[in-house]
Structure 1
Amino acid sequence: MTDIAATTRETYDAIAADYARRWRSAPPPVVAAADHLAGLLPPGARVADVGCGPGHQTRLLRDRGLNATGFDLSREMLAADAVPGLVQADMRALPLAASVVDAVWCVAALLHVPRPEVPLTLAEFARVVRPGGLLALSLAEGDDEGWEPVSYAPELRRWYVGHRLAPFTALLADAGFEVTDHTRWSTHRDWLMLHARRG
């Protein structure tokens, strides 16, 4: 594990309880993205919620009839809300066999992966999702990369990476995904939600 990943994990371990309390309700655009994904999959479809944190969105996906399992690097985040069916894992090396899930859901998590490691991470998503399977992910839109303090715990920091639509679409294509649609919204940062299909 890189120093960046280790420090970001330590930060999430430290803020897990507060984070779980603050983000218990998903923003409307994330709920809409979950509805969109569920509408494209049959009931019971297997979904990997990668970077699941406390599992709030794992529950969101399950509430839509999907068989979702959450994966996150932070053990404290996984335990913060006692959501069952969550697994500690690095998104760059998921403990899944090839082509075993129908979709990968990755919301506000890939933005912590340093830019040079993003192609490897997308290749891992492509490895675990079946041919024709789906990918839904959100990114911070922008060009910056570096450490940011946590607003409610400024002594702690997380690594953030911004991406732009065109170059990220090319990265997805290199990994074997075709973007089918995208949306944007803004909170304290600009967000880009992408839906894609594995060839």
Structure 2
Amino acid sequence: MAEPTTETQRTYDVIAPEYARHTSTVYPRLMEEVASLAAHLSLGGRVADVGCGPGREVGLLRAEGFTVLGLDLSLGQLRAGGLPGVAQADMRRLPVRSGSLDAVWSQAALLHIPRETVPTVLDEFGRTVRPGGWLYLAVAEGDGERWEVASAYGATTERRWFTFHREPDLRAMLGAAGFRVEWVGRHTSGRDWLSLHAVRVGSGS
């Protein structure tokens, strides 16, 4: 069996055109999340959208006046979006200098990382975000891990790995990575979602 992250990347490459079309809509709740993060940042702040896909939120964050780097493991997704200022990258090893970011935005991306690897990713977020900087994180809420066929995007066999999270465990992992959770929200859209805003603790936070 393929390693979950690798197979999920391949699936996103295959479904890229349909996924880009399907996720192009900007809905009010998403705009509220962007505005909430923006309220913590200064104009021109440096933000990485980790797991940016075709780049919908890259565009939204840039429209708020931020300098945004879009990062995704799927080259197909990046090409489908066609935006400048994006790069292929593995969130377990971000190509970003330590403490150089004012914020990380990661919407529905960590959910594809196997549970045992999640602390590594959160440590990378903690490494790259400066003290006093911010993290926006949205994950699928629930228990367990499993494969799901990407049928909503026309796939018949291509699968994506899903890891589900509960708030207490996620809070603990974020704390270990150097973040303090300041706000938690929930909503249902196809599945149950958990979103968090967390500040990087340390000098200046």
Classify the secondary structure of the residue corresponding to 1:184: strand
Shift of 1:154: 2.7
In 1, the alpha carbon distance for the partners of 2:48 and 2:81 equals: 18
CA distance in 2, matches of 1:133, 1:98: 12
Mark the runs of 5 or more structure 1 residues left unpaired by the alignment: none
Please state whether the residue corresponding to 1:76 is helix, strand or coil.
helix
> What secondary structure, in the 3-state scheme, does the structure 2 residue paired with 1:49 have?
strand
Which amino acid counterpart does residue 74 of structure 1 have in structure 2?
S
Cα distance per residue 1:136-173 (max 9 Å; x no partner): 01000000201001123131100001100111101100
Separation in 2 of the partners of 1:123 and 1:28? 31
Q: How many angstroms apart in 2 are the aligned matches of 1:47 and 1:179?
A: 18
Alignment of 1:83 onto 2:83:
yes
State TM-score, norm by structure 1.
0.97
Question: What's the CA shift for 1:98?
Answer: 0.3
Q: Does structure 2 retain, via aligned residues, the 8 Å contact 1:78–1:86? A: yes
- Equivalences for 1:27-66 in 2 at 5 Å? 27-66=27-66
Instruction: Name the CA distance, whole Å, in 2 between partners of 1:35 and 1:10.
Output: 32
Q: Report the Cα offset of residue 23 of structure 1.
A: 0.3
User: Match for 1:55: what amino acid?
Assistant: G
Shift of 1:31: 1.6
Contact 1:38–1:65, Cα closer than 8 Å, also in 2? no
Q: What TM-score, normalized to structure 2? A: 0.94
Query: What is the CA deviation profile of residues 36-86 of structure 1, one whole-angstrom value per residue up to 9, with x for unaligned ones?
Result: 011110110000000000011100100111111100000010010211111
Aligned letter for 2:6?
A
Q: How do 1:140-155 residues align onto structure 2 when only pairs under 5 Å count?
A: 140-151=140-151, 152-155=154-157
Partner residue, 2:183: 181
- Amino acid aligned to 1:166: P
1:67-78 aligned at under 5 Å gives the runs: 67-78=67-78
Residue 106 of structure 1 aligns to a residue whose secondary structure is strand
Question: How many Å separate the matches in 2 of 1:108 and 1:27?
Answer: 15
Alignment: residue pair count: 198
